[in-house]
Amino acid sequence: MTKSRIGIVGFGTVGSGIYKILSSEVDSHPILKEIEIAKIAVKDLYKKRGIELDDNLLTDDPFKLINDPSIDLIVEVMGGLDLAKDIILKSLKSGKSVVTANKAVIARYGEEIYETATKEGVYILSEAAVCGGIPIIEPLKRSLKSNSIRKMVGIINGTTNFILSKMTNEKADYNQTLKLAQTLGYAEFDPTADVEGHDAADKISILSELAFGGKIKRDKINTEGISKINLKDIEYANKLGFEIKLLALSERRKVNSNNSLPLNIWVGPSLIPKSHPLAAVEGVNNALLIEADPLGEIMLYGPGAGSGPTAASVVSDILNIHATSIKKNNSIDPLLSFDFWRNCHIIESSQITKKNYLRIICLDSPGVIGKIGDIFGNNNVSIESIVQLDASADKAEIVVITHEVNTGKFEKSKKEINSLKEVKIIASQLSCI
Ligand code: NAP
Ligand code: HSE
């Protein structure tokens, strides 16, 4: 088994999430066991971390990791600009591939970093830098490559979406909700980057470079944040049928004479009709709509920040790089190929558990709902709701929604209900999620 030894710089929200994934015994692909954490660099060696950790793993000198020849790959999840850039470039120059979650560095120094990696024949991967746990960078680099991207628009900052959702749904206070986002590990070290839109601008800059192939002047992105939005704006927008979201947009316009592709890129708080798919994106979730030819429109959606989701993206990048080292040893890339690695079987249909919807047409006679409820109760089928609709002289419709229950017990209940003298027919049965 080829192992990759990694050095992690930073052990905060994201770094500790990476450690948890790589040291957990959760049932996951065996390739994860091929990644070994060699060293972790932190700022404060004496900080209480609430995680059981071998003290020998820690150092307060990130450059020790770069200079250690036994370490194959550096993971930069420290954040910040100058030191992080230095660590990334020095790692690449020492022949080590780098995985980073640092959008601020990639958005500003991407060109120099990508060129250095190519020159040194190593990789720089940054899936976690944009939209935390949602795969966006790899799809743009690979799966969507056969398309011409027309437009990307989305919610790409978790902190601000969390704040706006809480202000909308709970009339929550802006400052208190920002503090909560910091406690939950969503916000940047300096949350000004989130609330003033700079974090989203970094991300749309990175996405635009990948989608359209040209260098983006990061400072030219027109950027506005949410710090001036108040509950009145949200209330009025809602009355008019809109949600307020912090949007980032990037779209191509017609090529002009000097053959440079004109791009319309901005970040700003925006009104979205409630019927629009982005309006339903709540809390720390992010979503990006991509319009492309010939594909059409797709939406990528999921958690945009937080320890576990972001760490999962970082670990996927680590595995992608690890897979290339396996290939060098003349074997096939285990992430591009597929090998069965355990036995699976489908459980008997009577043992399946699911939520159910049942519409029963019966006589509108006293006690019928009670009888139906009793049958479900006697069979240990828990009911979420039971209502009578459309009662008329000769019939009533009863709709039952169960909790997630054993299908065998549900089917037995159904048979018993069907045999009640008051029941005319079970008109429909559907699954619920
Ligand atoms: P964090 O919780 O503040 O953790 C930063 C870590 O870096 C801490 O462990 C800190 O050490 C360490 N550190 C700081 N200065 C250092 C130095 N000079 N030498 C060695 N270690 C140093 O940050 P985070 O939320 O994990 O974010 C890390 C990166 O991931 C940032 O670039 C961020 O933008 C990005 N990101 C974060 C999220 C998220 O949801 N949080 C999502 C996507 C991307 P101590 O522990 O000793 O203080
Ligand atoms: N602060 C960022 C956010 C972290 O809230 O989206 C994920 O990039």
pLDDT at 202 over 70: yes
CA of 199 to the centre of ligand 2 (A): 7
Q: For the segment 149-197, what is each residue's pLDDT rounded down to a tens digit?
A: 999 999 999 999 999 999 999 999 999 999 999 999 999 999 999 999 9
Q: Which ligand is nearest to the CA of 184?
A: 1
Expressed in angstroms and rounded, the spacing between residue 233 Cα and the centre of ligand 2 is 24
Residue 354 annotated in active site: no
- Atom 48 in ligand 1: which residue has the minimum CA distance? 43
Give residues (CB < 6 A) around ligand 1: 9-15, 41-44, 47, 62, 77-79, 83, 101-103, 128-129, 132, 185-186, 188-189, 305-306, 310
For residue 130, give the ligand 2 atom closest to its CA: 8
Distance of CA 67 to the CA centre of its chain: 34
Closest ligand 2 atom to Cα of 161: 5
Among 285, 316, 344, which residue terminates a domain?
Answer: 344
- What are the angstrom distances between the C-alpha of 259 and each of 213, 214, 219, 256, 306? 13, 12, 22, 6, 41
pLDDT for position 29: 86
At 160 the pLDDT is 98
Ligand 2, CB cutoff 6 Å, lining residues? 132, 157-159, 186-188, 194, 199, 304-305
Are residues 300 and 181 part of one domain?
yes
Backbone angles phi, psi at 187, to 5 degrees: -80, 160
128 CA → ligand 1 middle, Å: 13
pLDDT for res 1: 67
Q: Which atom of ligand 2 is nearest to the CA of 101?
A: 8
Q: Are residues 224 and 87 in the same domain?
A: no
pLDDT tens for each residue of 6-18:
999 999 999 999 9
Domain CATH for 394: 3.30.70.260
CATH number at residue 161: 3.30.360.10
Across the chain, mean pLDDT equals 94
Please list the residues that pair with 125 across neighbouring strands. Answer: 99
Residues above pLDDT 90, as percent of the chain:
85
Q: Nearest 5°: CA angle at 28, between 27 and 29?
A: 140
Domains contained in the chain, number: 3
Ligand nearest to the CA of 107: 1
Q: From the alpha carbon of 187, which atom of ligand 2 is closest?
A: 1
CA 132 to ligand 2 center in whole angstroms: 7
State the average pLDDT over residues 339-365: 89
> HEC profile for 348-361?
CHHHCEEEEEEEEE
Let me know whether 334 and 295 are in one domain.
Answer: no
Asked whether the predicted pLDDT for residue 257 surpasses 70, the reply is no
Band (33; pLDDT cuts 50, 70, 90): very high
Q: How far is the CA of 101 from the centre of ligand 1 (A)?
A: 9
The ligand with the least distance to the CA atom of 44 is 1
Choose, from 39, 85, 203, 414, the residue flagged as catalytic: 203
Q: What is the pLDDT of residue 102?
A: 98
Query: What mean pLDDT comes out for the span 298-325?
Result: 96
pLDDT at residue 407 greater than cutoff 90: yes
Give me the CATH number covering residue 78.
Answer: 3.40.50.720
Q: What is the mean pLDDT of residues 195-216?
A: 96
Q: List C-alpha distances in Å: 127 to 75, 111, 131, 282, 422.
A: 12, 17, 8, 22, 60
CA atoms lying within 13 Å on the CB side of residue 191: 21
Percent of the chain with pLDDT over 70: 100
Question: How many Å lie between the centroid of ligand 2 and the Cα of residue 304?
Answer: 6
Q: Mark whether 99 and 179 lie in a shared domain.
A: no
Pocket test for ligand 2, best of 134, 159, 192 (most atoms within 8 A of CB): 159
Beta-bridge partners for 299:
289
Range of the domain at 195: 145-304
Residue whose CB lies within 8 A of the most ligand 1 atoms, among 16, 76, 77, 131, for a mutation test: 77
The whole-number pLDDT of residue 393 equals 72
Q: Whose CA is nearest to atom 4 of ligand 2?
A: 305
Q: Are residues 258 and 153 in the same domain?
A: yes
Residues 120 and 156 in one domain: no
Residue 373 lies in a domain: yes
Distance CA 39, CA 26 (A): 22
Residues 67-124: tens digit of each pLDDT: 999 999 999 999 999 999 999 999 999 999 999 999 999 999 999 999 999 999 999 9
- Higher-confidence residue: 327 or 247? 247
Examine the domain organization and report whether 132 and 154 are in the same domain. Answer: no
The rounded Å distance from CA 411 to ligand 1 centre is 52
Tokens (6 digits) for 208:
């635009």
Within this chain, do residues 19 and 96 fall inside the same structural domain, yes or no?
Answer: yes
- Do residue 275 and residue 245 come from a single domain? yes
Q: Residue 387's pLDDT is what?
A: 92
Evaluate whether residue 349 is within a structural domain: no
Same domain, residue pair 14 and 156: no
Q: Are 418 and 426 in contact (CB under 8 A)?
A: yes
Q: Are strands 4-9 and 73-76 parallel, antiparallel or unpaired?
A: parallel
Domain boundary among 287, 322, 344: 344
In a shared domain, residues 150 and 235? yes
Classify residue 34: in a domain, yes or no. yes
Residue with the smallest CA separation from ligand 1 atom 36 is 101
Q: Is 14 domain-assigned?
A: yes
Residue 233 lies in a domain: yes
| Claim to verify: residue 204 and residue 297 sit in the same structural domain | yes
Q: What is the pTM of this model?
A: 0.91
Last residue of a domain, one of 344, 371, 397: 344
